[in-house]
């Protein structure tokens, strides 16, 4: 039952993402068929700089729906069930998560919060709790198997597993959802674990599509002020009334 650390890998993304977004935007304002310009986009006849400039100007006007045509797929591992419960609340996305119903968790890995890891007494208590839960899971699984539950024993024994239990999940989001996701989860008010995962996802997105994601992140970075109000602001950006 070792402690695990978060790992975020980019599995795939829509090919030629900037050109696709540019074509989608152009179709909204172009009398012809953008399919006719697609080869020019891929050949570089319409430069990346020109595409990026056009996309940036239209995005700045508030027209954002064409970025939904591009998506990114990530594999997250070494993350807690606490994180995935938050993650799946972002609705316009696709998720495939490791199942505790079918995967034997007799030796489950777990995620330890940094504040607990830094406190020797808290760490010892946490580790003892994880060990006891693992023992309880194994005992229950054995009892249920002996009672005839067979492979279904895991689906009942899992009820004792903690939110700290490590999990793996594949997530696909389009660019518009990702931009909103980063605004919320890269904020300093976001929980530490999902904030770290979001920042790793953002780094991957920036490496592929900087024209869209270089200015992505916490909402304050786009607005230039903190929208959280005096009670919740971290102080990184001024409040609206203090700009």
Catalytic residues, which ones? Answer: 185
Cα angle 86-91-96, degrees, rounded to a multiple of 5: 75
Asked whether 97 and 68 are in contact (CB, 8 A), the reply is: no
Comparing CA positions, the residue from 66, 76, 96, 95 lying closest to residue 173 is 95
Distance between CA atoms of residues 132 and 128, nearest Å:
6
Distance between CA atoms of residues 201 and 218, nearest Å:
13
Distance between CA atoms of residues 198 and 202, nearest Å:
6
List, in sequence order, the alpha helices (H) in 92-174. 114-117, 120-146, 153-157
């Amino acid at each position: 039952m070792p402690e695990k650390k978060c790992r975020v890998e980019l599995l795939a993304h829509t090919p030629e993402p900037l050109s696709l977004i540019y074509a989608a935007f152009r179709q909204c304002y172009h009398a012809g068929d953008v399919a006719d310009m697609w080869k020019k986009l891929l050949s570089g006849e319409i430069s990346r700089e020109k595409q990026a400039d056009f996309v940036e100007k239209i995005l700045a006007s508030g027209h954002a729906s064409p970025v939904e045509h591009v998506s990114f797929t990530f594999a997250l591992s070494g993350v807690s069930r606490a994180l995935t419960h938050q993650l799946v609340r972002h609705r316009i996305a696709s998720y495939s998560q490791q199942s505790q119903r079918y995967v034997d968790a007799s030796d489950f890995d777990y995620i330890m919060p940094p504040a607990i890891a830094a406190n020797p007494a808290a760490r010892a208590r946490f580790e003892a709790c994880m060990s006891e839960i693992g023992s309880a899971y194994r005992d229950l699984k054995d009892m249920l198997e002996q009672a005839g539950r067979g492979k279904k024993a895991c689906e009942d024994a899992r009820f004792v597993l903690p939110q700290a239990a490590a999990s793996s999940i594949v997530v696909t989001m389009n660019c518009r959802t990702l931009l909103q996701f980063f605004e919320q989860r890269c904020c300093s008010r976001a929980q530490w674990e999902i904030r770290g995962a979001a920042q790793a996802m953002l780094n991957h997105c920036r490496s592929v599509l900087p024209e869209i994601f270089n200015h992505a992140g916490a909402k304050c970075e786009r607005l230039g002020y903190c929208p959280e109000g005096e009670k919740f602001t971290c102080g990184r950006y001024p409040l609206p009334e203090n700009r």
